[in-house]
Amino acid sequence: MYNADENDLRFAIHHVVGLDSVTDLSPFADYDAEICDAVLSEAARLAAEVIAPINQSGDTGSIWHSDNTVTTPEGFSDAFKALGEGGWTSIGTDEEYGGQNMPAILCAATREMWHSANMGLALCHLLTEGLIHALQTSASEEQKQTYVRPMAEGRWTGTMNLTENQAGTDLAAIRTQAVPEGDHYRIKGQKIFITYGEHDMAENIVHLVLARTPDAPEGVKGISVFIVPKFLVNEDGSLGARNDVKCVSIEHKMGINGSPTAVLQYGENEGAIGYLVGAENQGLNIMFNMMNHARFGVGIQGLSISNRAYYQALSYAQDRIQGTPLDRKDGDAIIHHPDVMRLLATMRAEIEAMRPLALYGATALDRGHHDTGESKSNWQTRAELMVPIIKGWMTERSIGIASDGVQVHGGMGFIEETGAAQHLRDARILTIYEGTTAIQANDLMFRKTLRDQGVAVRTLLDDIRVDADDALTAAISNAQTALDHILTGGLSTREAAAVSVPYLMMLGYLTGGWMALKNKRAAIAQQGSSDWDTNFLAAKIAHAEVFAAHSLPNVAALSQTILNGSHSIEAMDASWFNT
């Protein structure tokens, strides 16, 4: 069961976050409500008719062949071609490189539909968009002209090459070498966990590779980044010789099986030709720019897979008859059982909080990029603060929501043919790739909180307080107490790290509660309007109240963990785990 939730996206954009939150920026002045609705409708149609039907069949996985090629599941190549031909692969790219420069709020809404429809397929362009973003920010004009336009057109795709066997989170351990040779470098090394590192959906694949030059300093200060195309590009833009990079295998995975995760060997022969982006030893900053874009996208994936799991569970619960629900008649479906209703209501309540939160984050990214003066700086700070919260909280909750979806199915949820298990398996990677939840939490704790002595977080709390009702005010107070403890409680670095994930989750539930309350007030304001069905508005108010009763209290619980939990973790001895 797939539902793009187009109506809810439209409501969130127009009445909760507001399309006018970005249309005063000059690049987006022409994006009125009519254009917005047309984009949403067409994106929803494409998702439902082209992308979603091949989701479950795509779970069988891509196939690696002994000639180092990879075949994606049936229908994937045609669906990706449809995205390109329809102009959808260019929506977030600058106009001068063949893009549409669509506001991030509409790009985020579109991506949510695609990843909900088929996360394994949509992953390909998520990474490509990240590469486009990195090149637009850091590459030379010649590199932009050569590589960005074909990716925006969907003819080429892009990858991010960080991880090696000995270098996962610890990028200082990277060993891939880049030896200068004229106007290019020769790249030698092996990269693992490369999403869509090899496939049959595009003419060329552009790899962005972290490597070290021979005289590079030790550690992360000695990392450079290089464009390494699968096929070299001639001066006229046509494809030339095959580069010295090949896929030696793809991984057998728990989920997102439609997406081939490649092991790439660079330089088995003379060395792959690569082109330096920016300056030597500046690669980490460039790659983190790409990763920040990708992390926001992964947060949206958490929302997407949650929505897919919810509608799957809802469809089953409306049809399945098992027992007579309390105070109901024989033959009533399981949706009337109180606990099934609780599961579905809390799933939906959190999804409806996540959606405007993601769109708010998109707005912050746009204003941080296009605004001017002090406002630009303030929005940049807000966007940087929101990315780890959106990525961390939404992906962690996606696992819980997908698990609840399996629970609604009962035993049939454990059987693959229903498809419910696929959503849980697909969700499980989201808290790991593009930086684990702990990495997001440490970023939030040390770079976004302790570095500025909590100024950015206090400003966020002040903004939430302006909109707060009694329940949200109490939650803000709990969060404030936890923040004060982090800043003034004398925590060691290790103690702060020990409660960084509870801190992230606390702010996730708090900002989710903020958006839930905005949803409720927007729905109340729209009552009597002919634009919205009365049941739609009543349901939105009810789900906001479910969030306040069932999810928002987590802020108080997590605050207590932050206040009291760090010392107990730090008191542990690693040897005791074996005792």
Residues 14, 16, 508, CA angle at the centre, nearest 5°?
A: 140
Helices (H) then strands (E): counts for the chain: 20, 12
Q: Could you give the 3-state DSSP secondary structure of residue 579?
A: coil
Distance of CA 388 to the CA centre of its chain: 10
Determine the Cα angle at 19 with ends 16 and 25, to 5°: 135
Cβ atoms of 234 and 228 closer than 8 Å: no
Q: What is the 3-state secondary structure (H, E, C) of 323-342?
A: CCCCCCCCCCCHHHCHHHHH
- Using left for φ > 0, alpha for ψ between -120 and 50, and beta otherwise, residue 267 falls in left
Say how far apart CA 331 and CA 374 lie, in whole Å. 62
Would you list the DSSP string of 35-51? HHHHHHHHHHHHIIIII
φ, ψ for residue 101 (rounded to 5)? Answer: 50, 45
Buried b / exposed e over 398-425, threshold 16 CB at 10 Å, is: bbebbbbbbebbbeebeeeebbbbbbbb
Interatomic CA distance for residues 154 and 142, integer angstroms: 19
Name the token pair of 288.
């983190």
Which DSSP helix (H) or strand (E) runs through 355? helix 338-370
Q: Are 227 and 140 in contact (CB under 8 A)?
A: no
With tokens 């059987």, the residue in question is: 415
Q: At what angle do helices 283-319 and 119-138 cross, to 10 degrees?
A: 160
What is the rounded CA–CA span in Å between residue 183 and residue 122? 35
Other residues' Cβ atoms within 10 Å of the Cβ of residue 24: 11
Contact 293, 108 (CB under 8 A): no
Three-state DSSP at 318 gives: helix
Measured in whole angstroms, the distance separating CA 489 from the mean position of its chain's CA atoms is: 33
Given the residues 6, 112, 350, 434, the one annotated as active site: 434
Cβ(164)–Cβ(189) under 8 Å? yes
Enumerate the β-bridge partners of residue 245.
Answer: 266
First and final CA of the chain: distance in angstroms? 48
Is position 434 annotated as part of the catalytic site?
yes
Task: Residue 285: count other Cβ atoms within 10 Å of its Cβ.
Answer: 14
Hey, which residues are catalytic here?
434
